[in-house]
Structure 1
Amino acid sequence: MKKLLLLSIVLLQYMSFAQEEHAWVYLSDKENVASSIANPISILTQSAIDRKSAHNIPIDERDVPVNENYITQIKNQTGITVMAKSKWFNAVYVIGLELDIIALEALDFVEYIDFADKSLNADSRVAMFSNKFEIEETLVDFTYGSSQNQIEMIGVDHLHFSDYTGEGIIIAVLDSGFPNVNTMAAFQHLRDNGDLLGGYDFVDRNENVYEFTANEHGTRVLSNMAGFIQDEFVGTAPDASYYLFRTEDTFSEMPVEESYWVEAAERADSLGVHIINSSLGYRVFDNANYNYTPSDMNGNTTFITKGANIANEKGILVVNSAGNSGASSWQTVGAPADASGVFSIGAVDFEGNYAPFSSQGTAIQPTQKPDVVARGAAAAVVNSSNEIINNNGTSFSSPIMAGGIASLWQALPNASHEDIKLYVRMSASQFNTPDFFLGYGIPNLELAREIGLSLSEEQFVRFKVFPNPVTDILNIQIPTSTEATNLKIYNVLGKLVLEKTITKSEIRLDVSSMASGVYMMSFTSDKGSKTFKLIKS
């Protein structure tokens, strides 16, 4: 009996090691780091260098590619398949038997291994399919011109009227594939203008992103930004330029898709992309051992969330759907929308009311989630057959907002990505009373433009604030002492950090306790309001 029991234990251990596992393998160093940074054109395009320079984004070691010799050595190890790589994390994503993956630790350039099944990691070592898209066709008779409501709701029509249609802004769309985009009439305008810049399929490792991959989700998402059918449908940024990246494998749900996403974000950064739209989210996988929990949606746990934060640090404005779990037991905004650096978009209906499926923010997330909302209930989209239909999902409120932001950024070319996010938040319907359902609310992008223009003024008419940048004491001079003026100071995440009522014509304000960084000051009185940027040294 003891022998049989021992044999059973051995067989169970063997079976556990014989199961194919997924893991990230982090590497110790890179080659030619100093010379690559000194000669950035060797690792980045000129567009990427120019974008970083314009917004003071440093070029650093994370921009240097992974050592290909290390990757080759890993590929040559027994039983190992390399699926993806990340220069930002200096890591590769591998699939193999647990013992074969553990054996990689013997390579002197392997720093550490992080299994997707966290119970297998060194510090603890002694399936369920998720539909990320949840597209629901809604039968709606149009009583107005298809996309009119979703465009007017966020004030993009005013930007278009002023000829701000996304021209000069480059958007990378990370999704599941883009069937027929290269032939559809809805994207003829995009192709004729040379604004379809190319793409890559990170799942199948080829450049054909236009094949049908069991899902046309990416085509519908793209239509909300770039689609144009004369007198019938207009996207929110019809004149922006687009890269199309397939990172989602619709045939399975595995953590490797997080690595595909980060690879695509790295490619976008090297190409000088301004905005990423990602209508994707990750919570649970085919292998339940890899599943996340709502508590993991804390803005700093998942691989994709950490990658999205790096993209933000690199100066890319990452726009991501909040998720469609509002009516489920999960409920919480998913990854990478939980990242503090990601602009997360929830959904409302045509009247601006909260859409019950839209995922909600929680107190565990480091910043307000969602950030803002746009129409996602019965949103107008164009399918791969060039038909205008209606779909539900934050998958569509996200690109509606991303395209609107592209048009706004064209109008404010000197603004940084953080500036743009703040202007959009400040323009939203419940900026002063955000909640976990609508975030800061429904933005008015024309108002965001006005806020941005007013912030570009270094001095008000008859109104002075100095020194700026400020270290300790801020001097404020207002034109009259007979009227109370309300001062509010917000950080770049839109959080109120100081409020004061000013009743004198001159005051000295002690700001020494404020952290270094960029803030927005808003002055309001019965005679009007003014907002501008304050830099705390």
Structure 2
Amino acid sequence: MRQLVFLLCFLCCIPLMQAEETLKFRVYLKDKPTGEYRLDNPRVFLSPKSIARRERQKISINISDIPVYRPYIAQIEQASGGKCVTTSRWQNTAVVSVADSSALAKITALPFVDSVKLVWVKPEVIPVKPKSSGKIRKEKQQKDRKNRYGAGLQQIALHNGEKLHKAGFKGKGMTIAVIDAGFKYADVNYTIDPSRIAGTHDFVEPQSDFFLTHEHGTMVLATIAARNKGVLTGTAPEATFWLLRSEDADTEFPVEEDYWTAAAEFADSVGVDVITSSLGYSLYDIRSLGKPQSTLGRDKSFITRTAETGAQKGMLILCSAGNEYTSEWHAITIPGDAKNILTVGAIDSQLQPSTFSGAGYTDERGVKPDIVALGTAAATTDPAGNVTRANGTSFATPIMAGLATCLWQALPQLSAQEIIQLIRDNSSLRLAPDTLQGYGIPDIYNAYLTAKRQLETQK
């Protein structure tokens, strides 16, 4: 009741407007009837590849895998006069878009509703607030005939990743979901093989022209997928990719946690092996809608719980530590505080922490960030395919995601969690992790050799 009173007081400040979406609420449901779905027939709601990934890792299918009960969604829409824009089967929630604040009491009165949270308010004016990809510097396009990796050599060799590639592991047979703000021109970027893109989905604007959205995701993708010999080769050039948009780059509201959740659940359902996400959240446009920095790793946010659940489903998840070190926030961003994922910070070419890379912790909450990769002057491409240098944990994360994917390809008998621990155990600061680099710089090839020896001994 106290939460309802708070929301009503807050919403009194927002004028009633014409019948268009002005507010979005996250509705938490009390229970989840299975309806037309059955746990003994998971192929109705999970792909064969998703089921196989669970079976390989001895992960059971449970009630959290079943979609939200459709009649509940219909009743919420009818009572509120609004429209359901997304749901979460893992957290048993629905987000409804409504015209005005009078819908709140009607939703709350429904007997199956546990609680309601405001997650979006229509801005009076869309702020000019582009999501920065960090400082970008274009390079002259030159082909190095002696070096197949071109501009990407350092960021791969830093982890001995080229040795793993030479052993035959470049991501073939593995599927990576890239969750980002948009993938402008990724379909025509000549360094990216379009046949490696399994599919796309926009969870923010489902009717958008997908390849005309933000450029950030294209630059992220190129660090993994680029295949331009002697100019730029990515860290998992033979992998297959799902491109998923969950970020509204114009504003910052908690509803983006719901979109990210929908993207992660979609990735799970189609059977991806690895999720890489270079998105993070700290202070929202309406600050009272977020959690304070002191709750990191403790009072878990919605998106952090999603990341942890995704890890429980057997996916290998990597998230960026964020670029907030010099900002008011200073710390890692959510969902980087999730357990059982790899949170990736950034270092420069001198192997020092990048000045922007968010600070974590080494205490009872665990170690965050987990590891680091090159994030200062990382090699990628612009949407057209021209080689550029860019700054950000946004690029350190996919660099490492590609290498982790190749490692898992090489060691398919291991679980996602075993791959994560193997990477931590073969990192430069494993004996003395700190708050900026975590366990340090992974040696991916040494991780492979170590595990291979252990597996041969077990035989």
TM-score (norm 2): 0.89
Tell me if structure 2 keeps the 8 A contact 1:84–1:256.
no
Structure number with higher relative contact order (C-alpha < 8 Å, ≥ 6 residues apart)? 2
- Cα–Cα, structure 1 residues 130 and 57, in superposed 2: closer, same or farther, change >3 Å? farther
Per-residue deviation at 1:102? Answer: 2.8
Per-residue deviation at 1:104? Answer: 0.8
- Cα–Cα, structure 1 residues 304 and 382, in superposed 2: closer, same or farther, change >3 Å? same
- Cα–Cα, structure 1 residues 389 and 98, in superposed 2: closer, same or farther, change >3 Å? same
Per-residue deviation at 1:418? Answer: 0.6
1:378 and 2:377 correspond: yes
Task: Give the corresponding residue for 1:108.
Answer: 111
Task: Give the corresponding residue for 1:167.
Answer: 172
Task: Give the corresponding residue for 2:324.
Answer: 325
Paired residues for 1:355-374 under 5 Å: 355-363=354-362, 366-374=365-373
1:151 and 2:156 correspond: yes
Identical pairs, percent: 34
What SS does structure 2 have at the residue aligned with 1:36? Answer: coil
Deviation string, structure 1 residues 425-460 (Cα, Å, up to 9, x no partner): 111111101100111110110011012213324559
Task: Give the corresponding residue for 2:3.
Answer: none
The separation in 2 between residues aligned to 1:258 and 1:101, in whole angstroms, is: 20
1:87 and 2:92 correspond: no
The separation in 1 between residues aligned to 2:51 and 2:169, in whole angstroms, is: 24
Question: What are the ranges of 5 or more consecutive residues in structure 1 without an aligned counterpart?
Answer: 1-10, 118-126, 461-537
The separation in 1 between residues aligned to 2:424 and 2:238, in whole angstroms, is: 24
Tell me if structure 2 keeps the 8 A contact 1:132–1:281.
no
Per-residue deviation at 1:112? Answer: 2.2
Deviation string, structure 1 residues 308-334 (Cα, Å, up to 9, x no partner): 110011111110110001122311111
- Cα–Cα, structure 1 residues 316 and 180, in superposed 2: closer, same or farther, change >3 Å? same
Paired residues for 1:35-434 under 5 Å: 36-96=38-98, 97-116=100-119, 133-138=132-137, 145-188=150-193, 191=194, 194-206=195-207, 208-211=209-212, 213=213, 215-298=214-297, 300-363=299-362, 366-434=365-433
Per-residue deviation at 1:109? Answer: 2.1
Per-residue deviation at 1:29? Answer: 2.9
Which amino acid is 1:15 matched to? C
User: Number of residue pairs matched?
Assistant: 435
Question: What are the ranges of 5 or more consecutive residues in structure 2 without an aligned counterpart?
Answer: 1-7, 17-21, 121-125
The separation in 1 between residues aligned to 2:129 and 2:394, in whole angstroms, is: 15
The separation in 2 between residues aligned to 1:416 and 1:327, in whole angstroms, is: 36
Tell me if structure 2 keeps the 8 A contact 1:134–1:324.
no
What SS does structure 2 have at the residue aligned with 1:26? Answer: strand
Which amino acid is 1:245 matched to? L
- Cα–Cα, structure 1 residues 395 and 50, in superposed 2: closer, same or farther, change >3 Å? same
Tell me if structure 1 keeps the 8 A contact 2:138–2:386.
no
Which amino acid is 1:182 matched to? D
Per-residue deviation at 1:265? Answer: 0.6
The separation in 1 between residues aligned to 2:458 and 2:342, in whole angstroms, is: 30
TM-score (norm 1): 0.76
What SS does structure 1 have at the residue aligned with 2:13? Answer: helix
What SS does structure 1 have at the residue aligned with 2:96? Answer: strand
Tell me if structure 2 keeps the 8 A contact 1:21–1:98.
yes
Tell me if structure 1 keeps the 8 A contact 2:324–2:357.
yes
What SS does structure 1 have at the residue aligned with 2:39? Answer: helix
- Cα–Cα, structure 1 residues 134 and 288, in superposed 2: closer, same or farther, change >3 Å? farther
Task: Give the corresponding residue for 1:518.
Answer: none
Which amino acid is 2:32 matched to? K
Per-residue deviation at 1:255? Answer: 1.0
The separation in 2 between residues aligned to 1:362 and 1:260, in whole angstroms, is: 27
The separation in 2 between residues aligned to 1:262 and 1:158, in whole angstroms, is: 35
Deviation string, structure 1 residues 273-322 (Cα, Å, up to 9, x no partner): 11100000011222233233211322542110111110011111110110
Per-residue deviation at 1:12? Answer: 8.4
What SS does structure 2 have at the residue aligned with 1:198? Answer: strand
Which amino acid is 1:112 matched to? S
Per-residue deviation at 1:108? Answer: 2.0
The separation in 1 between residues aligned to 2:364 and 2:279, in whole angstroms, is: 18
- Cα–Cα, structure 1 residues 70 and 386, in superposed 2: closer, same or farther, change >3 Å? same
Task: Give the corresponding residue for 2:5.
Answer: none
Which amino acid is 1:74 matched to? I
Bigger-Rg structure (1/2): 1
